[in-house]
Structure 1
Amino acid sequence: MSGPARIRGNKLYLLFGETPDNTDRKCETTAVTLEHEDADTDTLTFCDASEGGAAQPFFDVTFVQSLDSTSFWRFCWEHAGEVVPFTYAPQGNAEPTTEQPHFIGFVQIPKARPTIGGEAVVAGTGFTSELRLDVTDADGNKPGVATMDEGTTP
């Protein structure tokens, strides 16, 4: 018996925002995790309290720095503070299925633009930037929800 299919660290399908060609960001990212923490909210409702409090989902993303007009770095620079849709498929499939669902929703690009530059190196290694992208609703309200999209199976 083999057990459930594992998520491997060599596949990814990742979209942030609406781009003309639905740019998959897998070739620009070196680490992507969808995490959850207790939400920091000014107004805790009785429903939130009865359910143990609200959770804030967020992405930690490490990506290469590039000034190319189509790069993720440039996208984050030009869309700082905006709410954009996301699709996250940790198993690398372009279409969601029951066994390989996508996570979809909205994130807010931080108002603080991504870093540029880094430490000097002898060899030609590239610089990376890191961002936390909070999951919001379409209007930018936190906490948002990362919904699991299972698509349809034949």
Structure 2
Amino acid sequence: MKKLTLLILILISFNAITQAQMQPYLTMEEALRISDAAEEKARLENWNVVIAILDGGGHLIALRRMDGVQIGSVEVAQAKAKSAVFFKRSSKVFEDLVKSGGVHILTLPNAVAVEGGLPIFKDGVCVGAIGVSGVTSAQDGIIAEAGIKSL
């Protein structure tokens, strides 16, 4: 009986590991492609920004700080991306809700109500996010969108 129980536990563990390996995720190559495209758009517009790419757990994969950008934008870009990955929606959604009077949104942990954070989806799964900060929130959103379109 003990051997059978052990065998069942091994099979369950193997199945869980196999399932985890089959889940889509954001590769380093994809993260760099996204940040390259976002930086290219920012340079075309002469906008200096910080670009943060996070994985599906909200952890930093790539960070770019263009010359001349205020240091505060480093944390803001990451916060926008974290909001997008945690809630699986654009940070602009929260901005729009606050503008329409939904100030209760500001009480949600990690909800950033400023445009510039977008989730990254792969096969219908949120695998990460991009956050951009440094110019106006609308311009940050344009740069983030350019990055997403490269995927």
Instruction: Using structure 1 for the length normalisation, give the TM-score.
Output: 0.26
Higher helix fraction (1 or 2): 2
User: Whose strand proportion is higher, 1 or 2?
Assistant: 1
> What TM-score results when the alignment is normalised by the length of structure 2?
0.26
